[in-house]
Amino acid sequence: MPDKAQHMPTLRVTKMLKTISDSPHGLTLTEITELNNMPKSSLFPIAHTLVEEGFLNYDAATGRFTLGLELFEIGNKFLNQFDIMEYIKQQMDSIVSICNETCHFAVLSGGDVLYIHKVDSHEPIRMYSSVGKRLPAYGTGLGKALLCTHSLPELQKLYPDGLKPLTENTITDIRCLEEQLKTIRQNGVAFEKEESNLHVQCIAVPLLKDGKPLAALSVAIPVFRATGEHLDLIEKLLVGTRKNIEQVLSTMDFPLESLI
């Protein structure tokens, strides 16, 4: 969507909420304005209104704003609408119960992977990750699965500054990325080895609806446990789970895109 379509007052509201959500102890109005490079005179009435409506809390003693209960209630209503998420979580639990490796569920947010849910391995050595974390999509198995239908011009638009390395193994040639995505489109499976985290590799599958990835599933494996037999098992589990979830998606008008 072109910038001219954005409504500046609304954009200030969303940026304020996002900025405060990243600070568990809250922020002062001065800190919010500095982080967003916006005039305090514009943000003051917005903050006052959000407090009055319950979307923000204000501590007069510290001058800090925190998220309000109204956002919590809306968030709960949002989650309650999507029973399919429970189904996806059950499928992820099943994968982990068989292979005992960490499973992730994510969507594409701009050029990043946004982690929505994970089920941890019970192994003492496993990939560290957290729900809500973002990573550049081109450097992850999940991201490549999510980008698999992107053309070269779309990739160049998504990453105008090029592909910056996350590790020494990250692909930084956008044409090489394009070739990998073509293979993923053909095979339906994405692979990544130590491109986003050293000593970890991932296998991922896109979850398609009408030919477009709505989300993706992956399993992360420490390199030392990634034997051929183990990788074959994980790939088989992911492909089977993808079919199960895509079958459900095909029968319902589920706006999974709204998680982005």
My answer on whether 120 and 159 are in the same domain is yes
My answer on whether 56 and 121 are in the same domain is no
- For residue 14, give the CATH number of its domain: 1.10.10.10
My answer on whether 167 and 118 are in the same domain is yes
My answer on whether 36 and 122 are in the same domain is no
My answer on whether 52 and 104 are in the same domain is no
My answer on whether 12 and 134 are in the same domain is no
The string over 2-29, giving b where at least 16 C-beta atoms fall within 10 Å of a residue's C-beta and e elsewhere, is eeeeeeeeeebbebbbebbeeeeebbeb
Query: Last residue of a domain, which of 73, 107, 125?
Result: 73
- For residue 110, give the CATH number of its domain: 3.30.450.40
My answer on whether 123 and 148 are in the same domain is yes
My answer on whether 56 and 96 are in the same domain is no
Q: How many domains would you assign to the chain?
A: 2
Q: Which of 196, 100, 85, 90 is nearest to 142 (CA)?
A: 196
DSSP per-residue codes, 77-131: HHHHT-THHHHHHHHHHHHHHHH-SEEEEEEEETTEEEEEEEE--SSSS-----T
Question: Which residues have a Cβ under 8 Å from the Cβ of 22 and sit 6 or more positions away?
Answer: none
R_g of the chain, CA atoms, integer Å? 20
Domain that holds residue 138: 82-259
40: tokens are 């305090």
My answer on whether 32 and 98 are in the same domain is no
My answer on whether 69 and 94 are in the same domain is no
Pairing of strands 64-67, 56-59: antiparallel
Q: Give me the long-range contacts of 244-253 (CB less than 8 A, separation at least 24).
A: 244/91, 245/87, 245/88, 245/91, 245/207, 245/217, 246/207, 246/208, 246/209, 248/84, 248/87, 249/84, 249/207, 249/208, 249/209, 249/214, 250/209, 252/84
Query: Last residue of a domain, which of 73, 97, 124?
Result: 73
pLDDT score at 229: 92
My answer on whether 179 and 64 are in the same domain is no
pLDDT in tens, the chain (260 residues): 445 567 888 888 989 999 998 888 899 999 999 998 888 888 899 999 999 999 999 999 999 999 999 988 887 776 565 567 788 889 999 999 999 999 999 999 889 999 999 888 876 655 656 676 889 999 999 999 999 999 999 999 999 999 999 999 999 999 999 999 999 999 999 999 999 889 999 999 999 988 899 999 999 999 988 899 999 999 999 999 999 988 877 766 655 544 44
Query: Last residue of a domain, which of 54, 73, 92?
Result: 73
pLDDT score at 193: 93
Q: How far apart are the first and last CA of the chain?
A: 15
**Spatial contact of 168 and 131, defined as CB atoms under 8 Å apart:** no
My answer on whether 30 and 112 are in the same domain is no
